[in-house]
Structures are given as structure tokens and as C-alpha cells.
Amino acid sequence: MGCGVVEELTLQAPLVLPERGGVALQVAVGGPDDGGRRSVRVHSRWEGAALDAPWVLHADGVLGVSAGSAPEVDLSAWPPPGAVPADVADTYDLLFDRGYGYGPVFQGLKAAWISGKDIFAEVELPEVAHADVNRFGIHPALLDATMHALGLHGQAGQDGGNDEAGEERPALPFFWEGVRLYASGSTSLRVHLSGASEDTVSLSLADSTGAPVLSVDGLTLRPVSVEQLGASGGSGALWEVAWRPLAGAGAGAGAGAGVVWSGWDDFVGGGVVSGPVVCEVGTGIDGAGGGVVSGVRSV
């Protein structure tokens, strides 16, 4: 029986959630080519944005069809024979210091072992999130937790990178290759992480009996800065137009200390303005219909 495969997926920008409100997501899958492959692109923009507001591209990739063969790694023997236990008690304190802010649902790493360049780990989804498991092929918090052991012996990933000031930066998934899902519904996983290169790892995931759940041929991680995360919400997406009353300015004499009343012609080109200036604006200024008021509102 064949199964779908994400042949490749490049993450262009992180999805940053606002403190209030939400985001609209758009996942577009193209038609099949001669080999059955389809393009896929993921966009978002702030909820309630104008209809002509731009969408931010978060990911694009290629979907294909594979033979569905099980991964070669056997995780039925557990803990892995010959592997050395690793201490994970302070993992999330260390990750927090490196810039990762994982909430309780995402703190799923329970145990880990090291064998040469390979890392084995045990991850578990908190019971409070079990009701959501069937909404996903694999719960995102459980999938994320499979990568939390990457820094145990200095591999790429949770070790991040250094910026110009020498400060360590967190690393995020950048490029996925050969992602195959074999089963869904798991609340705990056995994990095998193998370093293919300095910044790329392969993953094999199995359930509590050792049956295959998911495999990833290659996952490349790249360090990111706080500025890059902040810029991922989209150009101008955090701003809005709102009218704010000017304190002390009213529709009559003595409206407020320091307020200068002026005709528009007297004000334009008048040099430095040291305080609030209130101008009477008509409807025929500059020969344009509506004048300054309509001009401002139109832009």
C-alpha cells in the first residue's frame, strides 16, 4: 500500500502568532505533474486584514508518492542496546537560556540515550493534549519534542549559532526532505536521530511497541535571530489606522495651552513647529475636490 511523501519542504519564514486575534492560513496544493508530484505552498496573514493585504509565504515544497516501505531502523528493542543514558533533567532550562520558550505541552522529552553519533530519545505528549491527537497525522508538539535532544552531544540544531556579538541564537527547521508518515494517533514515541552532516539529521519515529510512525530522510536546521522572527508577521501587518483625539485641542478659543491656531496658507512652509497647530481645512484647497482631507484619507 502506497503512502504520501513530502519530498521536500523549505520553510521560508516562521509563523508568528499575535497576542490578540489570530491568523488566516492558506495551503495551496497544485495539480499533479507527469510523475504524480504536486507543489504545495503555505501562506498566512493577520485575521481581519484588508482584502488586498499581502500574504506571507511560510513554506513551499513538493508532494509525491512513495512505495510506503518501512524504514530500515528497528526500534523494537528499547532502551536501545549498548546506548549510554543521557541526563535530560535540565534540558528545558538550558533550552530556555538559548532562546527557546517551550510551554508545558511542548516539553515532551522524557529520556535519551547516546550511541556514537546517534541519539535515541523517548518523548511523550501530556495527557491534557491527548484529546487533540486525532486532529493531526502526528501532533505538532510531539513532533517538535523529537528534536529537543539534538544538543546532547553538540550536534547541530539546539546548539543554534552565534551572531555578530558572539551570542548564541536558536535554530529552527529550515529544510525537510523525504518525510513519510506510516501511522497516526500516537501519544508517545521512540526516536532515533542520526547526524547526516554538520547541520542535517535524519529521524526515525516509532510507537511504544516499536512500530514505525514517521521517518525523515533529512532535516536541516538554521540559526535565526530575534529580528528575523519579528519580521515574519508580514510587511506592515502589525500596524493599523486609528483616530486618536489630541488632548487640549477643541473647537473654540482657549482650547488648550500651547495650541497655535492657523490658516492653512499661513501654516504651509512656516518652518519649525514647536507644538500642536490646528488648521482650518476647507474643501477646495489646492484646487482638488475635497482638498487635504480627502487626499489624506485616500492614501
Summarised one tens digit per residue, pLDDT across range 136-149 is 999 999 999 999 98
By mean pLDDT, which of 1-5, 84-88, 102-106, 172-176 is the weakest?
Answer: 1-5
Summarised one tens digit per residue, pLDDT across range 273-289 is 777 777 776 655 555 55
Instruction: Find, among 79, 78, 131, 85, the residue nearest to 105 by Cα.
Output: 131
Q: How far apart are CA 133 and CA 138, in angstroms?
A: 7
Summarised one tens digit per residue, pLDDT across range 171-210 is 888 999 999 999 999 999 999 999 856 688 999 999 999 9
**Position 248, amino acid:** G
pTM of the shown model: 0.69
Dihedral over Cα of 175, 217, 194, 149: its sign? positive
Domain boundaries, the chain: 242-299
54: CB partners within 8 A, 6+ apart:
45, 234, 235
C-alpha pair distances (Å), 142 with each of 109, 130, 205: 9, 11, 11
